[in-house]
Amino acid sequence: MHPTTYNAKAYSAASATSRLASTKIKRRDPTDRDVQIEILFCGICHSDLHQVRNEWSGVMPTVYPCVPGHEIVGRVTKVGTAVSKFKPGDLAAVGCMVDSDGTCPECRAGLEQFCPNLTLTYNFPDKHLGGVTYGGYSENIVVDERFVLRVPSNLKLAGAAPLLCAGITTYSPIRRAGVTKDKKVGVVGLGGLGHMAVKFAHAFGAHVVVFTTSPNKKDDALRLGADEIVVSRNADEMKKHTGSFDFILDAVAADHDINAYISQLRRDGNITLVGAPEKPLAVSAFSLIMPRRSLSGSAIGGIAETQEMLDFCGKHNITADVEVIPIQKVNEAYQRLLKSDVKFRFSIDMASLKSE
């Protein structure tokens, strides 16, 4: 039986070529285990843009209308009778996932992001209402409490929102790679994800080198915690670090020559892809086999690790550097994202949706 529903304001795209525009969507009335959250800020992840434009059609084709947004912070407005961790008035956050089976080996290992019965926050089959899930470009959202995170009270909310995707997606592989003070770490692409990677790798004490295509981001990179900056379009600068990195995180959203970064690794060094460009990357076998380097991937992080990351950010006062925009500027923001023209994350002030 479907639960009862109510209407919520949102911004959606009607097709891969449409602008995002004001709309109304249905949300379920909170069931026993649900938390209803008034959304205060929602970050704009490049994944929102990929999906709105159906650039991942081979893996997860977009169902329209599409309401993106998976970097959500807000205030709890209502809870179901069985909810124990949240009460109205609490700060709360939601990331890329809203449900999983909770019983499979991945869920039991705290890796809900790999659950075969995972539900992503938007553009995924909605088990409650049919159709697909709708994300955070909306005035509110209703989520099972198992997928609702706590936000440390000292963090500024506009900058905390991007932690829910850009934060966990970089924190998780950096932790997994064992980044500490003796390690040399590269970050490729100083966008939303990349700038969080710099903050985390720096916080763990590593020597951090940023590879950027944007010379105008140099000063910012140093301020964020980078020790050195390489402008990747400058061949001489690229040669300087060849064969010297323990770990590189590649957070580039577009097609690029990954071999140029693989060759920066030392023996047994690892490069992890978190960027998810539309087209396949061409990997040279030789850049991996000599000298025994590895290439891997990583997807967000589990719920427990996301809470760990948020608590770490609370303790060290880490948030994303954001440009706060009203929802009415979202299409312009997408255009600028394509030009790498944001320092370093757009965060939508959802109060702006009230006037729609």
Ligand X SMILES: NC(=O)c1ccc[n+]([C@@H]2O[C@H](COP(=O)([O-])OP(=O)(O)OC[C@H]3O[C@@H](n4cnc5c(N)ncnc54)[C@H](OP(=O)(O)O)[C@@H]3O)[C@@H](O)[C@H]2O)c1
List residues near ligand X by CB under 6 A: 45-47, 50, 165-166, 169, 189-194, 212-214, 217, 251-254, 256, 274-277, 298-300, 337, 340
Length of the chain in residues, anyone? 356
Q: Is position 164 an interface residue for Zn ion (rule: CB under 5 A)?
A: no
Q: Under a CB-based contact definition with an 8 Å cutoff, are residues 40 and 74 in contact? A: yes
Cβ of residue 5: shortest distance to Zn ion, in angstroms?
26
322 makes contact, choosing from ligand X, Zn ion, none, with CB < 5 to 8 Å by partner type, with none
Cβ of residue 250: shortest distance to ligand X, in angstroms?
9
Closest residue to ligand X in the complex (CB): 191
Residue type, 122: Y
Q: In the 8-state DSSP scheme, what is residue 147?
A: G
Neighbours of 297 (CB within 10 A): 12
Cβ of residue 34: shortest distance to ligand X, in angstroms?
25
Cα separation, 314 vs 152, whole angstroms: 5
Which two three-digit tokens encode residue 79? 């809870």
Residue 146, helix vs strand vs coil? helix
190 makes contact, choosing from ligand X, Zn ion, none, with CB < 5 to 8 Å by partner type, with ligand X
251 makes contact, choosing from Zn ion, ligand X, none, with CB < 5 to 8 Å by partner type, with ligand X
Q: Under a CB-based contact definition with an 8 Å cutoff, are residues 187 and 201 in contact? A: yes
Cβ of residue 215: shortest distance to Zn ion, in angstroms?
26
Percent helix, strand, coil in the chain, to 5, is: 30, 30, 45
Number of residues that bind Zn ion (CB under 5 A): 8
Q: Is position 101 an interface residue for Zn ion (rule: CB under 5 A)?
A: yes
Scan for tokens 């105008």, then name that residue: 216
State which of residues 107, 185, 265, 313 lies at the interface with Zn ion (CB under 5 A).
107
Closer to ligand X by Cβ: residue 11 or 86: 11
Q: In the 8-state DSSP scheme, what is residue 66?
A: B
128 makes contact, choosing from Zn ion, ligand X, none, with CB < 5 to 8 Å by partner type, with none
Closer to Zn ion by Cβ: residue 165 or 313: 165
101 makes contact, choosing from ligand X, Zn ion, none, with CB < 5 to 8 Å by partner type, with Zn ion
274 makes contact, choosing from Zn ion, ligand X, none, with CB < 5 to 8 Å by partner type, with ligand X
Cα separation, 150 vs 23, whole angstroms: 29
Closer to ligand X by Cβ: residue 66 or 142: 66
What is the distance, to the nearest Å, from the Cα of residue 56 to the centroid of all Cα atoms in its chain?
A: 16
- 3-state SS of 333-346? HHHHHHCCCCCCEE
Task: Give all strands (DSSP E) within the chain, no chain letters.
Answer: 5-13, 20-28, 34-43, 72-79, 91-94, 97-99, 119-120, 140-144, 184-188, 207-212, 228-231, 245-250, 265-273, 294-297, 322-326, 345-349
Q: Is position 94 an interface residue for Zn ion (rule: CB under 5 A)?
A: no
Scan for tokens 């009270």, then name that residue: 153
Closer to ligand X by Cβ: residue 23 or 169: 169
Q: Under a CB-based contact definition with an 8 Å cutoff, are residues 140 and 5 in contact? A: no
275 makes contact, choosing from Zn ion, ligand X, none, with CB < 5 to 8 Å by partner type, with ligand X
Q: Under a CB-based contact definition with an 8 Å cutoff, are residues 288 and 261 in contact? A: no
254 makes contact, choosing from ligand X, Zn ion, none, with CB < 5 to 8 Å by partner type, with ligand X
Cβ of residue 214: shortest distance to ligand X, in angstroms?
3
Q: Is position 47 an interface residue for Zn ion (rule: CB under 5 A)?
A: yes
State which of residues 20, 45, 221, 327 lies at the interface with Zn ion (CB under 5 A).
45
Closer to ligand X by Cβ: residue 50 or 183: 50
Q: Is position 341 an interface residue for Zn ion (rule: CB under 5 A)?
A: no
Q: Give the footprint of Zn ion on this chain (CB under 5 A).
A: 45, 47, 100-101, 104, 107, 115, 165
